[in-house]
């Protein structure tokens, strides 16, 4: 079992979700986050003071996937979240020891 | 024939606008006090009163309240559909302003009074039941009571004094709230979960609009732009100010912190209590009434959790209790120099009768109306609707969608029906 | 020499203040309806009208609108820079109040009318283009139209009736909105992404201020504090109330839920439709006009997605459609008892002419103005600016920064320029 | 004996309501400008002025300000507790309206003036110190100054002109703000952390209410509903409008973006500057004053970070600077045709004296009051309280609790005391 | 050292927290997230346009736990977060290499 | 490849970010979270009811780092986020199987 995490541009979320749904992903969890990276932030001005804001709004998408689903999931994200402009974000995969579905107590592949 | 005075009319029209503004002010006051998921449902319970009650007032409410009295109990149908309510003054009411202005001014009172009640029922009353309730209550409970006190009815004849609606509006709404609480029962999670105001600045905004509008409510009730209106305005303001202090002092003593919600609530309590008295007392007495209202209402609200009933937004603690404080203190503190009425034990007795009659009638009638509505459409939302919140379950909306800075909706998947249809056509 | 009446003046000054308040009310109404990233840009499109149009009105707008008529087409320059507009009454307008009061009252109409249009262009109009547009439009489109109807121009002479601006303000702004939609094109993502209101309580707050201010707009248009003002006030209120019902009924039928945004929009539709009629009809007719406006505007807005054009905040569906409903129903429902004008087929015909002339002139002139501005500075923001939102791209600000409870800014790195300079000096 | 005029009274009562509304408007204006964790604390600093100052005004403030002059320095105690302030007009002030109306109108000025100062002290002033300060300042600083200028005191006798409070309210509050900044010191993190407004739409809402209320503030100061009030209203409005432009032009030049906070602040600066002039100048001059105020205040605020002092919400840059601009320009631009006073070098000199005297007295007295309060209860919150924010540390509340859509509180664990007690009993 | 992550219904948070506290868990971290899964979202209506919202508000609870505490933690969550209705969420366990307490610099089991 | 996660006090975020930037970290992702731990929460009072709020606002900082960068990253966080008062938070390291940069499709060290 693996956890695929993607940091993507917020306006790409729907497309990513639809792409994942179309390859059989049944669930995912989304978090609003702030990213700092090569992409420049912006300047804000309030009463004569200029503030450089380095953080950019992003969304984090997390998908629990079976081993053999990892590559398709990653590929789907890489394809749909890409705009080619700086700040498109990252995808990474981390190991998962075990998963449970709370409603039923099912474990492992049955839980997702 | 009485003539229209432009100055009095200017003030009455202004006051009418101010009192209208109080109902959306109430919507914000109440809306800020509930949890996020119920903000729109709560706002709608006041907003829809502007729709349903306004129309009913023109059709039947005004004539039942202010039509020629039938035995001191209810107004006759002479003014049905505002028939005969024209640009010339009425012979009986506000005789220096257009009859239409008086009828419009009174309409705003009829709108806000039932809206006040909804605070007690917040976070669990069905929207369809709300609409039926507001309409029925305004005709069956508000109109008779307004008639009793102001329309030539038996309470007015008895000598009960109520300058701007202490009993007609506040005691009445407060007693109705009590009935609503009994019929509706407690909210899911009441007493164990945190029910904290989701937007305190909104509460303050609402309270500010209420305070501002209350100048129309009380000083407008002089129905002319002269000394009495000025006296009522001063009293209104200083009572509200004193009631802030009256609330914060015991709150600080008991909870170590004076709160913003407390200041806003205290001000409203003071405004409630000064309502019957505004045109009868002197400023120093208004300060006393405000202080008393702030303290007594604080104690009432502070006690509430011990009593275990669920008056969501403290309509009983503020409007019933504050209204009683004001009605009784008017009986004691009225000064003849202000408006010809002097406080006395006799007057106090009459005030007690007026309050008791109002509570009895309002509680009983409200209970019956709600039970009837419950039988027809059900007064309370289903449990899953209560968990989801009124906004989604009753109105298919959410109050706030902040999370989209920098791109399209993050939490909202956007497929408007028509677009989907188009999509399908391609 | 006409004399100033204090009562009439009190009401006209109050009404002026109320109408001024409508423009920031509109800013909130519109601001709540857009997405978070555009809230300030949208607010600014109304706010800046208070700046640019107010100044232009003193300089040239008033005299072009209300100066001595040149052939029924435009006002002469007698009042340029408010020359000759003094504390004594005008001989022609509002003859019991100071000329300055009348000119100020009319100024507020000139401010809000172009601001209304910006709703159709929301979320994509450049700020510099907005400023140029508001200024140019107020002089080149609003002033002539105000003159035609109210300033002694040809439409007024023809017998067209418009109590408070049904054609001058609402049909005019609605037709201009249509031109703006054509010139600007659709927003990026329109029809596929979710464009949901980011702050519905703000929408309600704005609508409430509009409603409150509309008492000044309509009842103030009586230009005196008497029976006519009272009649206009009653009509305004009950039309708005009835229009809430008129909107929610079909909405509930079609979407199973009556919405808060619907109630607010319905109220505004009712207020729009009663505007030309307010001083000509009886309350029962006002209720009818409100109901009709609510329903027709609901249908217009509900249809919109099918038509595929992008009127961001439904200026066409509410102001053009509502304005037409009101103008035509005024022609039918006017009652001589109210203000000396009786509805008739002839009057209806005149109203049709007024509406048609307004639409034709406003659409064409607006189209030309926007095309000219587009050629000079560009009317539309760049695509990346549209994605970032107007707040950041046009104003270098964000609407809300909530996420800092418990410490310093979490998402905002704070190095004010000057502090950085200091840092460098050390 | 002078008689009450209903028209004048209608306008004065309306104006009183409008000025009252400004204080909660200020609360929102200031509340939106601070960080989320201080929103309620900031709101409370204005709200509590409505409590404490209103009561003190009735008791002693009015008589010290407007009682029979003792040597041109302070009012005598004839009106203590509003004794002798009745429904008939005063012989000296606003002689066509009830004395109570005049006293109430002036009360609202006494309330908002100290509230203005709190903006400079925002985000670090203890609540108990706030209450003491507002009360003491209103009696010890505001009352004498009001007396000097309006109550028959030496500045008025000298010939200094101040139509609606340029020196009494704005220069006074601005100079007091300077003293507050000196006594309080800078906020933790000032100059390094981002102090950005947490809710700009709230700032706009507050500014809108201020603008709306300012019609009462300035046009109400005519104390009658006639030409002078109309002139003051026009001037007030166009100065505010012009000041938006006056602020945004240099802001755009310097920071490449005209901002919403800038537009709101510019409008307030224009309103401040026109306050002393409103009843003395012609509209073209009001436009000039507005433009000048917008530009000069922008420069003052833009300079601030270089000076290194921490005027949290720019009370000095807007009220002191704007007030001085207005007071001096009144000396130059006053036109006899408006109100009998013609600008001249002599008048300018008198205005300089009035401004200087106000600054000197206000700064010194405020400094002393704050030092005294500091010795008794401490003016500044503890460092951990400052980090936690005023809302939690002073009021045990938070402004917003949005995160609970779809269920119970997510971040708030709910154990109301009483429920816990019950729990324990079981 | 392991990280136990649970995605649960927001109104279950208090119960979960209390259950964990009662079995000796001294700390946890909570994030507001949006879930997509078998549980249906809802429809919103604005001015005649209907929007299908697929995401449902959830909270993510993260608990750093020693190996032998993992099962009790998971069990406590499974028990208290369950309503039996669709959408109750997931629990999963991921490996952690090392943990530090910032205040003291302590590492490993001492840090939690 | 590792993921370093830190839970820190919100007002320390800027300092932490600057410290990481100065040791060559090019990107990171920030989430607003609520922490429960030894640090006491606070009491809120609304109309006579007192509520004990156990959660404290925190921010979560996540940094994808190469193996040899982990210790410097952890040290920088430990140093800058420390106030010495209770509630300073935690840092922990979890294994990552693979990382991609969405914009380019680059993998591994090149992706961060
Ligand atoms: N080392 C990192 N660890 C965690 N998140 C990162 C890291 N680097 C980048 N990110 C996240 O990825 C987003 C995009 O990174 P950025 O450097 O701006 O562009 P790109 O991924 O196109 O090179 C950032 O906003 C941040 O949220
Ligand atoms: N594969 C997955 N990866 C990550 N999170 C998931 C996954 N599947 C479900 N979730 C999360 O769990 C929540 C509940 O899942 P859902 O399918 O609706 O119900 P259930 O868990 O009862 O089967 C979702 O809202 C989502 O937050
Ligand atoms: N076991 C844990 N699992 C996950 N997060 C934890 C855990 N313990 C503490 N935390 C997080 O660390 C923060 C600080 O912990 P706390 O116990 O208050 O202080 P300290 O870390 O100084 O001992 C908490 O608010 C919480 O966000």
For chain A, the straight-line distance linking the first and the last C-alpha, in angstroms and rounded, comes to 10
Rounded to the nearest angstrom, the distance between the alpha carbon of E86 and the centre of ligand 2 is 9
Q: What is the pLDDT of residue D238?
A: 98
Residue A76 Cα to ligand 1 midpoint, Å, equals 19
The span from the CA of B335 to the CA of B399, in Å, is 48
pLDDT at B292 over 50: yes
pLDDT tens per residue across span D310-340:
999 999 999 999 999 999 999 999 999 999 9
DSSP conformational letter for B58: I
Mean pLDDT of C380-405: 90
Strand pairing category for E42-46 and E28-36: unpaired
Residue C392 in domain: no
A49 forms bridges with which residues in the sheet? A46
Minimum distance, in Å, between the CA of residue B237 and any CA atom of chain F:
23
pLDDT band at C191 (very low <50, low <70, confident <90, very high): confident
The stretch D29-43 carries a mean pLDDT of: 97
Confidence of residue D421 (pLDDT cuts 50, 70, 90): very low
Name F17's Cβ contacts closer than 8 Å, sequence gap at least 6: A36, A54, C413, F28, F61
Is C44 contained in some domain?
A: yes
Residue in D with minimal Cα distance to E32: D403
Is B413 inside a domain boundary? no
**In-domain check, residue D383:** no
Residue nearest to atom 8 of ligand 3 (CA): E27
Give the list of residues 6+ apart from residue D424 with CB closer than 8 angstroms, or none: none
A37–F17 CB contact, under 8 Å = no
User: Do E79 and A100 form a contact (C-beta atoms < 8 A)?
Assistant: no
Cα angle at C71 between C68 and C74, to 5 degrees?
60
- Residue B410 maps to a domain: no
In this structure, of B20-29, E95-104, F8-17, the range with the lowest mean pLDDT score is F8-17
| Contact criterion met (CB below 8 Å) for B343 and B334 | yes
User: pLDDT-derived band of residue D73, with 50, 70 and 90 as boundaries?
Assistant: very high
Confidence of residue D417 (pLDDT cuts 50, 70, 90): very low
- Distance between CA atoms of D62 and C365, rounded to whole angstroms? 57
Distance CA C386, CA C124 (A): 6
- Tell me, in angstroms, the distance from the centre of ligand 1 to residue B382's CA: 45
Spatial CA neighbour of B311 closest among B179, B423, B408? B179
pLDDT of F44-99, one tens digit each?
999 989 999 999 999 999 999 999 999 999 999 999 999 999 999 999 999 999 99
The 3-state secondary structure of C16-37 reads HHHHHHHHHHHHHHHHHHCCHH
User: What is the residue range of D39's domain?
Assistant: 6-376
Q: State the Cα–Cα distance between residues C126 and A77, nearest whole angstrom.
A: 34
Task: Answer yes or no: do D259 and A50 touch at CB < 8 A.
Answer: no
Domain presence at residue B419: no
Q: What is chain D's mean pLDDT, rounded?
A: 94
- Crossing angle for the helix pair D200-214 and C6-33, to the nearest 10 degrees: 170
Tokens 């009074």 identify what position?
Answer: B113
Does C307 score more than 90 pLDDT? Answer: no
| Confidence band of D1 (pLDDT split at 50, 70, 90) | low
Please, are residues A33 and F29 in contact by the beta-carbon 8 Å criterion? yes
- pLDDT for residue D18 is more than 50: yes
Name the residue of E8, E33, E90 whose CB sits within 8 Å of the most ligand 2 atoms, as the mutation to test its pocket. E90
Q: Are B138 and B125 in contact (CB under 8 A)?
A: no
Query: pLDDT tens digits for D173-184?
Result: 999 999 999 999
Q: In whole angstroms, what is the distance from residue E6 CA to residue E77 CA?
A: 8
- Residue C344 backbone phi and psi in degrees, to 5: -165, 165
Report whether residue A58 contacts ligand 1, using a CB cutoff of 6 Å: yes
Which regions in chain E score pLDDT beneath 50?
Answer: none
Distance CA D71, CA C1 (A): 45
Pick from A14, A45, A51: CB nearest C412: A51
Q: Which residues contact C227 (CB under 8 A, 6 or more apart)?
A: B4, B86, B87, B88, B98, B100
pLDDT in tens, F31-45: 999 999 998 889 999
Tell me if B402 is assigned to some domain: no
Query: In this structure, are residues B44 and B394 in contact, taking their beta carbons and an 8 Å threshold?
Result: yes
Report the C-alpha gap between E36 and E13 in whole angstroms.
Answer: 19
CA angle E92, E95, E100 (to 5 degrees): 115
Would you list which residues of chain A are within 8 Å, Cβ to Cβ, of chain B?
9-14, 17, 30, 32, 56-57, 59
Instruction: Identify the chains in contact with D, defined as 3+ C-beta pairs within 8 A.
Output: A, B, C, E, F
The sign one gets for the Cα dihedral C315, C317, C318, C324 is positive
| Separate counts of helices (H) and strands (E) for chain B | 19, 2
Residue C229's domain is classified under what CATH number?
Answer: 1.10.3430.10
Q: What pLDDT is attached to residue B193? A: 86
What pLDDT does residue B305 have?
A: 82
Say how many C-beta atoms besides its own lie within 10 A of residue C73's C-beta.
11
* pLDDT above 70 (res B396): yes
User: How is residue B408 written in tokens?
Assistant: 């399209």
Q: Check if the beta carbon of residue B119 is closer than 8 Å to that of residue B314.
A: yes
d(CA D374, CA D124): 13
What is the percent of chain C where pLDDT is above 70?
94
What mean pLDDT is predicted for residues B250-272? Answer: 97
Q: Is residue C1 very low, low, confident or very high in pLDDT (cuts 50, 70, 90)? A: low
Which one of the ligands is nearest to E41 CA? 2
Is the pLDDT assigned to residue D378 strictly greater than 50? yes
What's chain C's average pLDDT? 94
Q: Which DSSP category does C380 fall into?
A: B
Task: Determine the Cα–Cα distance for residues B397 and C181; give it in Å rounded to an integer.
Answer: 27
Query: What DSSP designation does C89 have?
Result: P
Phi, psi torsion values for C6, nearest 5 degrees: -65, -40
The distance between the two most distant Cα atoms of chain B, rounded to a whole number of Å, is 83
User: Measuring from atom 25 of ligand 2, which residue has the nearest CA?
Assistant: E35
**Percentage above 90 pLDDT, chain C:** 92
What does the pLDDT look like over C319-334, one tens digit per residue?
A: 999 999 999 999 999 9
Q: What's the pLDDT score for residue B365?
A: 98
pLDDT in tens, C8-20: 999 999 999 999 9
Asked which of B184-193, C161-170, D272-281 is least confident by mean pLDDT, the reply is: B184-193
Token pair of C329 as six digits: 């129903």
The CA dihedral of E25, E28, E34, E39, to the nearest 10 degrees, is 0
Closest-approaching ligand to the CA atom of A66: 2
Closest Cα partner for B350 from B321, B322, B330, B364? Answer: B330
C179's CB contacts (< 8 A; 6+ apart) are C362, C363, C364, C366, C367, C370
Question: What pLDDT is stored for residue B1 in this prediction?
Answer: 52
Q: What is the Cα–Cα distance from B106 to F95, expressed in whole angstroms?
A: 72
Distance D34 CA to ligand 3 centre (A): 29
Number of domains, chain C: 1
Chain segment B56-81, per-residue pLDDT in tens: 999 999 999 999 999 999 999 999 99
The answer on pLDDT for D424 being more than 50 is no
Q: Does A110 have pLDDT greater than 60?
A: yes
Name the nearest CA neighbour of C104 among D286, D246, D326: D286
Comparing CA positions, the residue from D169, D284, D172, D149 lying closest to residue D218 is D169
State if residue F6 touches ligand 1 by the CB under 6 angstroms criterion: no
> Are the C-beta atoms of residues A84 and E82 closer than 8 Å to each other?
no
A31 min Cα distance to partner chain D (Å): 13
Can you list the pairs that B416-422 forms with residues at least 24 positions away whose Cβ atoms lie under 8 Å?
Answer: B416/C191, B416/C194, B416/C305, B416/E49, B416/E50, B416/E51, B417/C305, B417/E49, B417/E50, B418/C191, B418/C305, B418/C306, B418/E49, B419/C191, B419/C192, B419/C305, B422/C191, B422/C308
Q: CB of A88 closer than 6 A to ligand 1? A: yes
The pLDDT value given to residue D403: 75
- Whole-number Å distance between alpha carbons of D383 and D379: 12
Confidence band of D236 (pLDDT split at 50, 70, 90): very high
**B406·A13 Cβ contact <8 A:** no
HEC readout, chain D = CCCCCHHHHHHHHHHHHHHHHHHHHHHHHHHHHCCHHHHHHHHHHHHHHHHHHHHHHHHHHHHHHHCCEECCCEECHHHHHHCCCCCCCCCCCCCCCCHHHHHHHHHHHHHHHHHHHHHHHCCCECHHHHHHHHHHHHHHHHHHHHHHHHCCCHHHHHCCCCCCCHHHHHHHHHHHHHHHHHHHCCCCCCCCCCCCCCEHHHHHHHHHHHHHHHHHHHHHHHCCCCHHHHHHHHHHHHHHHHHHHHHHHHHHHHHCCCCHHHHHHHHHHHHHHHCCCCCCCCHHHHHHHHHHHHHHHHHHHHHHHHHCCCCCCCHHHHHHHHHHHHHHHHHHHCCHHHHCCCCCHHHHHHHHHHHHHHHHHHHHHHHHHHHHHHHHCCCECCHHHHHHCHHHHHHCCCCECCCCCCCCCCCCCCCCHHHHHHHHHC
Judged against a pLDDT cut of 50, whether residue B250 lies above it is answered with yes
Considering Cα of C229, then C230, then C231, then C236, what sign does the dihedral take? positive
Residue C30 has pLDDT above 90, yes or no: yes
Q: What is the mean pLDDT of residues B372-377?
A: 98
Q: What is the ipTM of this complex?
A: 0.96
Per the structure block, which two tokens stand in for D358? Answer: 């106000």
Q: How far is the alpha carbon of C163 from chain E, nearest alpha carbon, in Å?
A: 29
Q: Tens of pLDDT along C33-83?
A: 999 999 999 999 999 999 999 999 999 999 999 999 999 999 999 999 999
The answer to whether D211 and C24 are in contact (CB under 8 A) is yes
- First-to-last alpha carbon distance for chain D, in angstroms, is 73
Q: Sorting pLDDT into bands at 50, 70 and 90, what band is C416?
A: very low
Query: pLDDT tens digits for D76-95?
Result: 999 999 999 999 999 999 99
Question: Residue F11's pLDDT is what?
Answer: 87
Query: What string of DSSP letters covers E15-69?
Result: HHHHHHHHTT---EEEEEEEEESSS--EEEEETTEEEEE--EEEEEEEEEE-GGG
Among chain E, residues having any CB pair with chain D shorter than 8 Å are 9-14, 17, 30, 32, 56-57, 59
The pLDDT of D386-394, averaged and rounded, is 95
Please report which confidence band the pLDDT of residue A48 belongs to, taking 50, 70 and 90 as the band edges.
confident
Q: Alpha-carbon distance C155 to C166, whole Å? A: 13
Only one residue has tokens 């300073």, namely F88
């Amino acid at each position: 079992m693996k956890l695929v995490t993607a940091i993507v541009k917020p306006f790409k979320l729907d497309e990513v979700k639809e792409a994942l749904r179309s390859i059989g992903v049944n669930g995912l969890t989304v978090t609003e986050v702030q990213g700092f990276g090569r992409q420049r932030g912006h300047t804000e001005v309030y009463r004569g003071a200029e503030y450089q804001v380095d953080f950019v709004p992003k969304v984090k998408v997390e998908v629990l996937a079976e081993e053999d689903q990892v590559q398709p999931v990653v590929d789907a994200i890489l394809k749909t979240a890409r705009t080619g402009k700086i700040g498109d974000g990252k995808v990474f995969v981390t190991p998962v020891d075990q998963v449970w579905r709370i409603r039923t107590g099912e474990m492992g592949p049955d839980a997702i | 024939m009485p003539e229209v005075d432009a100055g009095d009319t200017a003030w009455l029209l202004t006051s009418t606008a101010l009192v209208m503004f109080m109902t959306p002010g109430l919507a914000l006051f109440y809306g800020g006090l509930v949890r996020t998921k119920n903000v729109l449902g709560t706002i709608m319970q006041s907003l829809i009163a502007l729709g349903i009650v306004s129309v009913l007032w023109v059709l039947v409410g005004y004539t039942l309240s202010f039509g020629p009295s039938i035995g001191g109990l209810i107004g006759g149908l002479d003014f049905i559909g505002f028939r005969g309510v024209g640009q010339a003054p009425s012979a009986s009411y506000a005789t220096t302003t257009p009859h239409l202005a008086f009828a419009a001014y009174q309409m705003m009172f009829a709108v806000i009074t039932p809206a006040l009640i909804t605070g007690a029922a917040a976070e669990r009353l069905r929207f369809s039941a709300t609409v039926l309730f507001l309409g029925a209550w305004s005709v069956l409970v508000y109109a008779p009571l307004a008639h009793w006190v102001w329309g030539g009815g038996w309470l007015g004849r008895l000598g009960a004094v109520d300058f701007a609606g202490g009993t007609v509006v506040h005691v009445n709404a407060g007693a109705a709230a009590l009935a609503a609480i009994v019929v509706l029962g407690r909210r899911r999670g009441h007493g164990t979960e945190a029910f904290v105001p989701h937007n305190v600045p909104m509460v303050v905004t609402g309270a500010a609009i209420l305070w501002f509008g209350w100048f129309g409510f009380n000083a407008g009730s002089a129905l002319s732009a002269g000394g009495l209106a000025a006296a009522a305005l001063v009293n209104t303001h200083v009572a509200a100010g004193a009631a802030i202090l009256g609330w914060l002092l015991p709150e600080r003593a008991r909870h170590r912190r004076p709160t913003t919600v407390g200041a806003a609530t205290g001000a409203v309590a003071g405004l409630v209590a000064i309502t019957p008295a505004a045109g009868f007392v002197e400023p120093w007495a208004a300060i006393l009434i405000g202080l008393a209202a702030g303290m007594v209402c604080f104690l009432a609200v502070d006690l509430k959790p011990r009593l275990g009933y669920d008056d969501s937004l403290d309509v009983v603690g503020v409007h019933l209790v504050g209204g009683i404080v004001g009605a009784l203190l008017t009986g004691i503190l009225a000064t003849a120099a202000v408006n010809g009425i002097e406080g006395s034990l006799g007057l106090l007795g009459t005030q007690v009768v007026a309050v008791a009659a109002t509570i009895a009638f309002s509680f009983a009638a409200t209970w019956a109306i709600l039970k009837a509505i419950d039988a027809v459409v059900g007064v309370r939302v289903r449990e899953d609707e209560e968990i989801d919140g009124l906004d989604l379950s009753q109105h298919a909306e959410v109050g706030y969608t902040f999370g989209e800075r920098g791109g399209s909706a993050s939490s909202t998947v956007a497929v408007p029906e028509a677009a989907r249809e188009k999509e399908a056509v391609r």
